[in-house]
Amino acid sequence: MSKVASLEGKRVLLVEDEFLVAMDIECELEDSGAKVVCAGSLASAQQCVDAGLFDAAILDLNLHGKPSYPVADRLAHMDIPFIFHTGQGERAVLLERYPGVGVYNKPCDGRSLVKALSQIIA
């Protein structure tokens, strides 16, 4: 099986509250060689960021009605690259608040997210 992009050995935090969306992205990440940790709520995402070392993250903006800004702020403070995968239509706000961070609107092909991550991981 040929890989679209390689994330071999990279640890990726996937923050997504929609189970089927998370499963699809997780499979794409694992197929690219990444080790994936999933968080489905703001609280679990914050615990993951505080407890683990990640090479990158994919963040859904709206987690059961709560914005993932605290997680994004913490990742930015820790210099951990991340992208947003959101259906909220908040592109302009996100780009203003997090210059240079990729914003991908749902639905987005998981391979596109993997490719985006592979380009920002050092």
The reported pLDDT for the residue numbered 106 is 86
User: Residue 89 carries which DSSP code?
Assistant: -
Average pLDDT, the chain: 90
- For 43-96, the pLDDT digits (tens) are 999 999 999 889 999 999 999 999 999 999 999 999 999 999 988 677 888 989
pLDDT of residue 122: 62
Q: Token pair of 48, please? A: 């993951």
- pLDDT tens, residue by residue, 22-48: 999 999 999 999 999 999 999 999 999
pLDDT at 2: 44
- Residue 4 confidence (pLDDT): 52
For residue 67, how far is the Cα from the chain centroid? 14
Report the CATH fold assignment for 11-120.
Rossmann fold (3.40.50)
Q: Which residues of 64-101 are buried (b: 16+ CB within 10 A; e: fewer)?
A: eeebbeebbebbeeeebbbbbbbeeebeeebeeebeeb
The candidate with the shortest Cα–Cα distance to 105, out of 122, 87, 79, is 87
Q: What pLDDT, on the 0 to 100 scale, is given for residue 20?
A: 93
Q: What is the pLDDT of residue 23?
A: 94
Q: What are the angstrom distances between the C-alpha of 44 and each of 16, 23, 58, 71?
A: 11, 17, 14, 10
pLDDT (0 to 100) of residue 3: 43
For the chain, give every domain's residue range: 11-120
pLDDT at 52: 81
